[in-house]
Structure 1
Amino acid sequence: MSLHDIPLTTLDGRPTTLGEYAGRVLLVVNVASRCGLTPQYAGLEQLQQEYGERGLTVVGVPCNQFAGQEPGSNEEIAQFCSATYGVSFPMMDKVEVNGEGRHPLFTELTQVADADGEAGDVVWNFEKWVIDRDGQPVARFRSRTEPTDPQVVGAIEAQFAGA
């Protein structure tokens, strides 16, 4: 199954799917506004600016399952991201990434192993997945790996190598 087919809702309430970005490389990230890792928004925006024209779209997916670090409404999240980090990439509706209420997107993404061969539940905010142009996950990076880390950039670059 392609991740492109899973229904999502944008932060402003519009139904969508990742299929809207078919043909683009995606970096899907579970985000939070009140986390010690929240400054990673700056790196995510940097990647969007640097690679957007080449075909990358960063997709932020807020989640409040980790110490209540994303308590705001969709409007508050949008305002924070725009005002604080100048976020220009698409943001989705707040979802659950683990447990019985896990969003179907994360049901698929949590099956992807990281560089250490570990799959399974999202451990914390700001886990990252690189998705190829066909909607298939190709890499997973844990929370403490910065968006601009050479491993993340390399995984993104690898998707452009044959294009």
Structure 2
Amino acid sequence: MMALELRSYNDYADLTKKYLRNYHTFKLTEKMLEEDIRSKEQILSASLDVGAAVARYGDAPAGGHTELNGIEAACERHLQMRQDIQNMKSDLSELRRLTDKIDIAFNVADDIARSMVREYYVDGYSWEQISMKHHYSARWCREKVKKAVEDMSMVIFGMKAKPLQLSFVFVQ
């Protein structure tokens, strides 16, 4: 992922909301990456039998061409596939780390807030649907979710996501 420069508390909360909105996509991408890695590893293990090229005689020009012979081309494909697998494993690891943080962050909220956050950001329910389901006003639901997202952003990003007025000051 590219490095983001987050300057204010709201930046962390906004990014947390974006993560929550993309949670299903993250989980599906994890599954697809796992499958792609498995598939490429199977292809790689099935194609390890690289044979020597057949000697050619006749009018073939000697030397000076940059074409890879059969063995060299197969080795190049193997190296590229290994690099692709390594890149996908790295992407998968980073994505899992993020989804694990999101899963852990859900635990910071109480059951009602957790349900509301999931319904609004992950499942796409409207505030009216959420308020009817939980028997609270839409405004109360928004406030409850806002507080939960703020707490979740602190779990995901650490103390740097905590608003300045709430930061702890340790005096010796």
Superposition TM-score tier, normalisation by shorter sequence: under 0.3
Greater relative contact order (Cα < 8 A, sep 6+): 2
Q: Which has the larger Rg?
A: 2
| TM norm structure 2 | 0.25
More helix by share: 2
